[in-house]
Structure 1
C-alpha cells in the first residue's frame, strides 16, 4: 500500500519566500503591538514607536554576528555572541524589540535601566538613553541602545560599504579559533541576520549579501578555517529536500517488517542506519530516523499508521550524498 505524504507542512519547513517589504511590515506591526498593547495610553506609545522606527529602521528578529550592537561590546574570544542576551554589558535587558540600528528594552527596575545606560555609553560607537514615555508597560523604564556608526541605505538596510567591512573583519577574526569551515547555507543567519532569504535580509540587501557570500566562500576555499563542514541543504529546492527524505524514510519503513525497529539497510550503494519507534506506545505514530555514516546524511519524520501518511523533516548533511537519493 503506498504511503501518502503530507504536502501541507514539513517539520522545520519554511514555505514562505522571503520578501523584504512584507517581512518588514509584519515585524513592524508585531513590534508595535508588543510594545503598546499593555499601556494605559496605547496611542502615546504608538507615537513613541513611530519615532523609534524613523530613527532606528525596521524591526528585525536577530542581528548578524558582525553587527556593532553585538561586536562593539568587548567579549571573550571563547564566547560566540549571536544575541543581545549574551552580551554582559547589556545585563538587565528585558522585553526587547530589535531594529536595524539598535534596540529598545523595557526593564521594570529604574536602577537596572540607569546602570544599563551607563555601561552602554562607555562603549565606543554605541549610545543609550531613557525614553520620555512608557513602552511595553506603564511600570517599565524603557532604554534605547543605538549603534551610532550604522547608516541606512534608501531601502532601509545597512550601508553596503560598512556592512561589508564589519562582516569581513568578523570572518577573519573567527578564523584563528576555527576547526572547520562552515558553508554559506550553514552561516546565512549569522551573516545576514533574520528574517533572511537566500542572500538578503532586512539588514543587508542582495548586493551586500551577495558579496558577503563571496567573502565566505573565498575564505573557505583558502583553507583558512579548515575542512568544510556541510550540514544545511537549503541550496536544494524544497521539493528536492522533501524527495530525499521521503526516499530514505519510505525505504526504512519498507524494511521494518523484516528487520525490526533498529537496523541497517543498503540503498543506492550506501549503508543506511534506521531507528524506528512507536512515539506514544499506542501504535498511532511512528518516529523514524535514518542516518548514513557519521551524520554524513541525516533525516527524520513521522508515519501515521491509521491514515498511512508520512510527514518528513528536511535532510541535513553532504550535498553530493543527498543528491544520490533524488
Structure 2
C-alpha cells in the first residue's frame, strides 16, 4: 500500500488515543492529557529509526558493538509497559508508582533524554504514565525531525562501527531501520522526502567507498511488485517442471539442482501433508544470491510464494 503521511499520522494518532483512554473512568480528562502529550512528542509512530536519540543515547547495551533497533531491547527501558512511540519519544504507563519513579530516575541520568511523571491517569486508572522525550529532537513544520539533525544522527550511527562491519547493507535492506515506520520509498512520519533522499545518497556513497566491506543485497523492494512476482513465478514454475512428475515427490524433502538461464538453481521440495494436495518448494541460487519459497496446489495449478530476496542484477535475469 502506498505510504501517505497525513493518513498514516491520523490513523496512528487515533489508535494511540484509543489505546491510552478507552479504559479510563474519565475519558475526557484522559484525552486532554493525551493531546498535551501529542503536542510535545509529535505524531504516534510504529517504530523509531535506529539513529534516533531514544535508541542511541542510552550507554548500556547487551554487546559493545550492538545496534538497537527498538526501545524494548535496551535495559534502560525494561520498566516500560503499555507503551507507544512518537516522533520525539515514548509514552509508557507502568503498573506501579515505584516502577514509574524508578524509570524516571534511570532515564534522567542519560544525557539528552528527559522523563517525567504525568499528573493524570492514562491507559487505565491504576497506571502511572511517564513521558520520555529526546529533548534535542526538533520538528519541521511537517512534523518530521529537523533535516540537519536527522542527517547528522544518521551519519554518526552509520559510521560509528564501520571498522567492525563485515558487509555493507543496501538502502533497501535497511530502509525501515533508517526511516522508522510506517514509511514509503524514502520518507516516513519521522523523515521527510528531502531528508530521506540525502540519507540514501549518503549511504550509497559510503557503500561505494568500501568502508563497510562488500555490499550485501537482500531486499528487492526497488523492483515493482509485478516484477518481483514474475521472478518468483519463473523460479517456482521452473523448479516444479524440473521436479516432475510430482507423484514421485513424497513428504520427505527432495533436493536437486537444475540449470535456468545460465544459473544453477538449488531446489528443495516435498509433499507437505503427503496427500498430493500441497507441495512446499524452495528455490535458491548461490549462497542466498537469490531465494524464493512457497507452496504449489496442483488441483488448481495455483502458486503462492514469498517475495524473492537477493541481488537485483541476478533477479532481473528471471523477469
Q: TM-score range by the shorter chain?
A: over 0.9
Q: Which residue is equivalent to 1:11?
A: none
5+ unaligned residues in a row in structure 1: which ranges?
1-15
| CA distance in structure 2 between the aligned counterparts of 1:82 and 1:75, rounded to whole angstroms | 14
- Aligned partner (choices 151, 169, 191) of residue 178 of structure 2: 191
1:19 aligns with 2:4: yes
Aligned pairs, number: 311
Q: Which residue is equivalent to 2:286?
A: 293
Offset of 1:266 from its aligned partner? Answer: 1.0
Offset of 1:278 from its aligned partner? Answer: 2.5
Deviations 1:106-163 (A, max 9, x none): 1112111111000111111111011111111211111110110011000000000111
1:324 aligns with 2:317: yes
5+ unaligned residues in a row in structure 2: which ranges?
none
Offset of 1:35 from its aligned partner? Answer: 1.4
1:253 aligns with 2:240: yes
Q: Which residue is equivalent to 1:92?
A: 79
Indicate if the aligned counterparts of 2:83 and 2:92 stay in contact, CA closer than 8 A. Answer: yes
1:307 aligns with 2:294: no
With 113-122 and 36-45 compared, the bigger mean Cα shift is at 36-45
| CA distance in structure 2 between the aligned counterparts of 1:281 and 1:118, rounded to whole angstroms | 59
Offset of 1:218 from its aligned partner? Answer: 0.9
Offset of 1:98 from its aligned partner? Answer: 0.5
Q: Which has the higher contact order (CA 8 A, sep 6+)?
A: 1
TM-score (normalizing by structure 1): 0.92
SS in structure 2 opposite 1:176? helix
| CA distance in structure 2 between the aligned counterparts of 1:305 and 1:37, rounded to whole angstroms | 48
1:50 aligns with 2:46: no
| CA distance in structure 2 between the aligned counterparts of 1:269 and 1:71, rounded to whole angstroms | 46
| CA distance in structure 1 between the aligned counterparts of 2:5 and 2:114, rounded to whole angstroms | 27
The RMSD of aligned alpha carbons is: 1.3
- Aligned partner (choices 68, 72, 81) of residue 81 of structure 1: 68
Offset of 1:320 from its aligned partner? Answer: 0.9
Deviations 1:185-215 (A, max 9, x none): 0011111111111111100100001111111
Offset of 1:254 from its aligned partner? Answer: 1.6
Q: Which residue is equivalent to 1:103?
A: 90
| CA distance in structure 2 between the aligned counterparts of 1:274 and 1:47, rounded to whole angstroms | 58
Offset of 1:262 from its aligned partner? Answer: 2.3
